[in-house]
Structure formats: C-alpha cells, structure tokens
Amino acid sequence: MKQAPNRLTIGHLTHEHTPAELADINERLCELLNADETDVKALQAEVDKRDSFIVNWLSQLTDKKKKQFALNESQVNNKLTCICKDLLNTVEKDLLKLNRGRKAVKSYTK
C-alpha cells in the first residue's frame, strides 16, 4: 500500500501526558505511516495495541488525570484518523486507476 500523504512525526502523536510505552507505540506508528509502502497488517496491529494500551491506561488514572489525558489524546486520535482516511483515499484512487487500466486492456483483447 502507498505511503500516507503527509509526513508524520512523533511530535504529532505525543503530548505532555503521553506515557513512555504509548510514545513507543506512537513511534512505531510514525515509522509505519512514513514508510515507502505502508504495511497494513502491521499498521492495524499497532493501532490495536495503541487502543488497548489507552483503555488500560485510562483505567489506572485518577478522574482529573483521566480528563487531562483524554483531552490531549482526543486531538492525537483525530490526527491519526485524518491520516488514515487520507491513506484510504489514496488507495481507493489507485484501485480505480488499476480497474480502468484493466478494463482498457480487456477491451483490446476481445
């Protein structure tokens, strides 16, 4: 799969309340999304790992810290969602081009 359209840095995914383990997961997400070709299975595994970590982390925080973390993390999640949507749109466009090319080839082989 093609690369995500926008270059992502760890600074996009971390905030003052990001624990070290989540920062490590975010670093791996950046590497996957900035690769020449995105490994979808590895990306999905890291997203799942990130989700599980966040749910677990929230359960350990006090209400005040939960709110602070959640507010910051909401912005990060919105950014990740936008990047993944852009990636999906790019893939859809590539698939449409591939399909048009296949139809053109097929019309000449009749």
* pLDDT tens-place string over residues 12-53: 999 999 999 999 999 999 999 988 888 889 999 999 999 999
Mean pLDDT in the chain?
A: 87
Is 18 in a helix, a strand, or coil? coil
β partners of residue 14: none
* pLDDT at res. 6: 54
CA–CA gap between residue 81 and residue 79 (Å, rounded): 5
- Please check whether residue 79 is in contact with residue 86, taking contact to mean a CB–CB distance below 8 angstroms: no
Type of residue numbered 105 = V
* pLDDT at res. 3: 45
Write the DSSP assignment of 48-77 as a string of letters: HHHHHHHHHHHHHS-HHHHHHHHHHHHHHH
Burial of residue 47, with CB atoms counted within 10 A of its CB: 0-12 exposed, 13-18 middle, 19 or more buried: middle
Mean pLDDT of 78-99: 83
- The segment with the largest mean pLDDT, out of 15-19, 31-35, 93-97, 105-109, is 15-19
Q: Percent of the chain, pLDDT > 90?
A: 54
Q: Which residues contact 24 (CB under 8 A, 6 or more apart)?
A: none
1 confidence band (pLDDT: 50, 70, 90):
very low
